[in-house]
Each structure stands twice: as C-alpha cells, then as structure tokens.
Amino acid sequence: METKTISRRDFLKVSAMSGAVLSLGFYLPATGKAKVIKTVEAETFGVELNAWIHIDTAGKVTIFSHRAEMGQGVYQAIPQIIAEELEVNLDKVDIVFAQGDQKKYGNQVTGGSSTVRGSYKNLLKLSASAREMLMEAAAKKWGVDRSACYAENGHVFHRPTKKSFHYGELVVDASKLEPPKDVVLKKRTDYKLIGKPLHRQDTKLKTNGTATFGLDKEIPGMLYAVVERNPRLRGVVKSFDDTATRKIPGVKHVVKTRMGVFDTYREGVAVVADSIWAAMQGRKALNVEWDDTGFEHLDTDTIFRRQQEDLKTKEGLIFKKAGDPDSILRQASKKIDVMYETPYQQHACMEPLNCIAHWQGDKVEIWGPIQAPDWIQDYISKEMNLTRENVVVNMTFLGGGFGRKAFMDYPHEACVISKEIGSPVQVVWTREDDMTQGPYRPGITYRCEAVVNNGEIAAFKVKLAGQNTNHWRGGKKEDPNRSSSEGFLKPYFESIQNISIQDIPFETPIPPIWWRSVYASTNGFAYESFLDELAIEAKKDPLEFRRQYLKDERLHTQIQKIEDVSGWKTRRKNSGYGVAITECFNSTVGMVVKVSKGSDSKIKIDHVWAVMDCGWYVNPDTIKAQVEGSIVMALGAATMHQINFIDGMTVQKNFYNYAMPRINDIPPIDVFVMDNNADAGGVGEPGLPPFAPALTNAIYDLTGQRIRKLPFNMETVAK
C-alpha cells in the first residue's frame, strides 16, 4: 500500500453551521483541489462529509466510516485506528457512515477484506498529523515550546503549567498551519487502543433495535415496490397482465423495470404500492410471460457433468507452470488422479436485498445496504446519464453482505422504478427473490493429479472448470481465471518443482459473483484436501508434510502454534484429526478439526482450533468473531446447503430448502491470533476456506473415507 504525502490541501478550514471545523482527508492526486463547503451540504450533518475526521469548535469529534459495516467491524476498526493517533477518547466521538465519493475517500468497495489493510497506514498518518497541528496551535497560543505539550483525550496539555485547551478551541488556528512534513507514528507497544479487544461501537445499537438497516430507512413520500423477475434469471418481459393487481387496495403503479447484471440487463415487472404488504399481494395477482429464448435452461447435473467431461478431455489455459509435470505424470507407474466438486452457493444475508431511490430529474439519491457506494455512483451515473456528483449514495448498516451487496443490480432497479413512477421508492426483495435470483458463487470442479516418489511430490497438476466472474466484467476469455490458485499458499510454488495450474474456461447463462472469500472458498477445499491425499501417499504426517513444503519462517511459527494449541503431536493416529492451511487476502489461517463417531455412528465435530495470522491488527476480539463466523458459514456450505438448477430455474427458495447452521450445530471453537510485525492482512474472509478441508481431512483420518464433493451430509457420511 502506498502512503500519501499529506499536504496543506488535505486540511481544510470550512465554515459550517456548527462553526469552523478541522477536516482531514486524503484526496486522490487527480482531484486535489480544496473544496469550500456549501451551506446546503452543511445542513445535512452540521459539517460537510468530506473526510474521515471532523472536529468542530465545540470540540465534538466526528469520524466518518468510508466503508460499509456489514458485521465485520469497520464501524469499530476505523475509529479505533483514528482515535489512537488523534488522542481522543473513543467513547466521545460520533461515528457516521460517509456517502459514496471516490474523490474524497478513494476506493470504498468493502470487499476483499480490504478496509484495514488498504487504509490503515494513511489513517494513522492523517490522525497523527492532525494531532501534531493541534499541538502546534496550542503551543503558539501559549507561546511555549511544543515539546512541553502533549495531547490526550481530546485536549492539548502544557506539561509544566497543567494548562489545557480542548481540541475545539484549537481547530481554527490548527487549520491555518502547514501539516508536518514527517510525523512520527507511535510504536505498536505504545498503543492504547489499537490491538486491544475494545467493545464495538455498534453493539448497543444492535441490542435495542435502533441500528438503521436498509429496510428500516424511510424517506417522506416513499412508496414500496416488489418485483416479479424471470425465474430463469435471463431474458425479457414478453407481456404482462396486471388487471387483478390493480384491484388490490394500495397498489399505485405497475411498471416494467430493468436492472443491469454485469454487461447484461434483466427485466421485471414492479408492483408499487403504499405498503410492502399491498405490493406483495399485487405481485401475487400478476401474470407475466417471459421471453428467455437464446438462454440454455440448464440443470445442475448437466453443469457438473460438462465440467467433468472438460476436465477429462481438455487441457486448460496455463495459470502457472514450472518444470514438466505432464511428462512425469505420463510416465509414472502410479499416480493420483481425482476430482473435487464444489457447489453453487447463495449469500443468504439475513437482510434481503432492498434499496431506496429518489429520482429528482437531474439527480438521484440512494439509500440502502450497500457494500460498494462508489461503484454504484459510477454505474448509476453512466446508466442513467447523470454526473457522478448527482448520484448521491448513502450507506445504512448492512444486514450481512458477503459480496452480494457489492453489486449494482438492486440499486439500479430502484433508480429505474423511481424515475418511471416519479416518486421515491423502496424496492424490497423477498427471501425467495433473494435466493432464486442470483448471482451465485459458481460451482467448480477440479481435476487434481500428482505423482509421489520416495515421500516427495514429483509432479502436481490442478485443472479447474468453473465460471469466471471476470468474464462477466469484460475480462478476456483467453486469460485464465486469475484466481485459479487463490487460497493455495504461495511457498508451494517454490518448493514443488514440477507444478501446473490450469483453468478451463466454462460458461453458463447463470451470472456468477463473488461470495465470502471468493475463489479461495472453493479452491481451499480442493487444494488442501489433495495435499492431504499426497501426505498420506507419502506416508507422512499431514502437518509435517506441509511444514516440509512451506519453507517460510513466518509460516513455520504459525504451524508451530497450530500444532501446540490443537494437541496435534499427542493425538492418537486415526482418532479424527484433520488440518488445513489457506491464504486469503494477505492473511493465512490454519485450522485443525477434531471429529468422532457417536454411538449412533454419526460423525460429530468435537472441536475446531483456528490460528489466524493477519499481521498488524486493530481489534483481536473482532478477529475472533470473524473467524468464528467464517467457520459457521463454511460449515453450512460444506454440509448443509447448495443452489441447484432444474430447467434453468433455482430449486432452493427459502431456508426450508437452503438449510442454515443453527445454534445446536456449532462445535466448540477456539481462535488464536498471531502477533508479528508484518503488514495488515484481511480479517473478514480468510477464516472460511480452511474449514471444509480440515473437516473432511479429519473424517478421512477417522474413517478412511475421502470426501471429494461438497456439500456432504454429516448424518450419513460414515454409514
């Protein structure tokens, strides 16, 4: 990550209703002009939303979160970082979600577990610079040496006299100063807030119903829309009959609508009413005929059969290659040649998709549970012919995201309907809409081949066949999936001499999308299960085998931790222990799962130990929570649910046939966080990929049965 030099223009003195504010932000180089606040904007929040930190003359500190809070804890993490170097008490700052604005905040896409790792260095530097300027302003006011001053709890103190100013008394003077050229950041050992398991700032809002999620937001004059969309995910509206719909009390409009899905469009018929319930009733009475000719109506079985055929008969695009694994494989008297299969999955956020749009002629304002406000701003401005500035995107709390809410279809649909009917509207997706309408995590099949000689991997080849989300975003079809080995630890590429990773391009009409931990969520299962097979073929301890191939000091420290906390070394052979280690978004997570067979001969998970190495981190309790949650989500994806298609339509409709892990399914989980001086890695996603392979490796250890297809049924697997 590049850190930016902070210049005068990053610190703005602006006049607002509440008085002068010291406002800090880092601007993209192309747009580095200081901006004068407009009164209209000032009225919205009392201050302009142009940066991370605002301090008004009363000393009130407001910290803006430029990223979405979907459970992963940025609402805590960003303030915890800023408050550390700014020297303010976290309890006394207000936290507000920033609007979508790439010019002000840079990338706001809350994905790839990128918030902390992508911005912490700049945030630390900005906060420290602001503190230094406030101290300098105080020293000048007192006419004392700055070195005799210190900052604490939103005040600058003069050490000898114990005089003090609160920050509000200093902001006007401070904002006239040049930012320091170089600012010394605190040592990690001096942190008062960072690295501590502080309580989340949003918890209290989430225990009494006051947190505002997208569906909770209302604006004056707002109507509600529920939309009938093609169950086959593609195609256009041929015709519709709304006679019965229009008789439902409360129904105001029935309009054809559309939304962009990557470079394609989907159509629907929106029923707009004065209540969600009336809109739902109106939709039930609607008759729509679809035209989806030209799109193949696939079954899941056909998809996976085709992937297997491709893997048997075709070579793929080379993603990585070293040595000559193919000739070793050809000549070997014994080789391992197996297929792994992972299903289509749906995000199933607890808050179904929804979005408010208020079309105002030359401007649209949007409110919703949104992971990528800047993408939406960009997309809507292009689609609807507006300037970026006239697409105002407001983030609410998100009731889950997992990648689904980093997509533009549902805000686009809301904008189209609002424009059509001429009033503000909230589009509400039902659970069934959410589950049946995609896009989905793509189902992938892997063919894994290897030769093991004298306890060593002589050749290693993995081919995958599955949909590439990049193809839907304009990516070149002749390029292999750039995530072909996501999840697989990089040092293997150095230690395995003859290795080949290939991608066989595979298409269906079903739009695919990122899902928590993206391709690592499926690759992890294939690669880490296959490595386990190779360890067994090599007659080596599975963890020792990995250590042998992962020649990296940091990884060895982590492996040692995994070994220690799980009691790996003292376990009895074939007593049901499995291990897996995967990398995802610059963090590595190792997991050991212990299983046993109950008296009913069902497999039961006794324990999960997880060791996260994410380098520099903000809040260890948030990390533990994220890893716990990732394990639960992975348990569901590995053993409980999948999306299937019959005749081009999604079979699963709701939680009754897309079963979720529940409290009685959850084993004891222990999470450990490594301490080191490495740069920050991701936290929200990396805990997911190692769980499924650690579980199936454990089941192999106990039963000798190798599971190569997800999901599998824990109740019947060992019978």
Residue closest to 318 by CA, chosen among 161, 188, 479: 479
Residue among 333 and 664 whose Cβ is closer to another protein:
664
Q: How far is the CB of 655 from another protein (least distance, A)?
A: 4
Residue among 229 and 461 whose Cβ is closer to another protein:
229
Q: Tell me how crowded residue 551 is: count the other CB atoms within 10 A of its CB.
A: 12
Q: How far is the CB of 540 from another protein (least distance, A)?
A: 33
Q: How far is the CB of 88 from another protein (least distance, A)?
A: 21
Answer whether the bond into residue 690 is a cis peptide, omega within 30°.
no
Residue among 349 and 496 whose Cβ is closer to another protein:
349
Rounded Cα distance, 19 and 38, in Å = 13
Residue among 284 and 382 whose Cβ is closer to another protein:
284
Q: How far is the CB of 210 from another protein (least distance, A)?
A: 7
Residue among 147 and 207 whose Cβ is closer to another protein:
207
Residue among 50 and 642 whose Cβ is closer to another protein:
642
Residue among 485 and 639 whose Cβ is closer to another protein:
639
| Cβ neighbours of residue 277 closer than 8 Å, sequence gap 6 or more | 250
Helix (H) / strand (E) containing 677: none
Rounded Cα distance, 548 and 560, in Å = 13
Q: How far is the CB of 443 from another protein (least distance, A)?
A: 20
Counting every residue, how long is the chain? 719
Q: Tell me how crowded residue 333 is: count the other CB atoms within 10 A of its CB.
A: 5
Cα dihedral across residues 263, 269, 274, 278: positive or negative: negative
Question: Buried (b) or exposed (e) across 295-327, using 16+ Cβ within 10 A?
Answer: beebebeebbebbeebbeeeebbebeeeeebee
What CA–CA distances, in Å, run from 448 to 310, 316, 341, 465, 548?
13, 13, 11, 12, 20
Positions in the binding site for another protein (CB under 8 A): 69-73, 199-200, 202-213, 215-216, 218, 249, 275-278, 348-352, 397-402, 430-432, 621, 625-626, 628-633, 654-656, 660-664, 666, 668-669
Q: How far is the CB of 599 from another protein (least distance, A)?
A: 17
Q: How far is the CB of 625 from another protein (least distance, A)?
A: 6
Order of strands across the sheet with 164-166?
149-152, 155-158, 164-166
Q: How far is the CB of 628 from another protein (least distance, A)?
A: 5
| Cβ neighbours of residue 412 closer than 8 Å, sequence gap 6 or more | 259, 260, 379, 380, 383
What CA–CA distances, in Å, run from 269 to 242, 254, 285, 408?
10, 7, 12, 18
C-beta of residue 458 within 8 angstroms of C-beta of residue 452: yes
Q: How far is the CB of 600 from another protein (least distance, A)?
A: 16
Residue among 129 and 426 whose Cβ is closer to another protein:
426
Residue among 257 and 622 whose Cβ is closer to another protein:
622
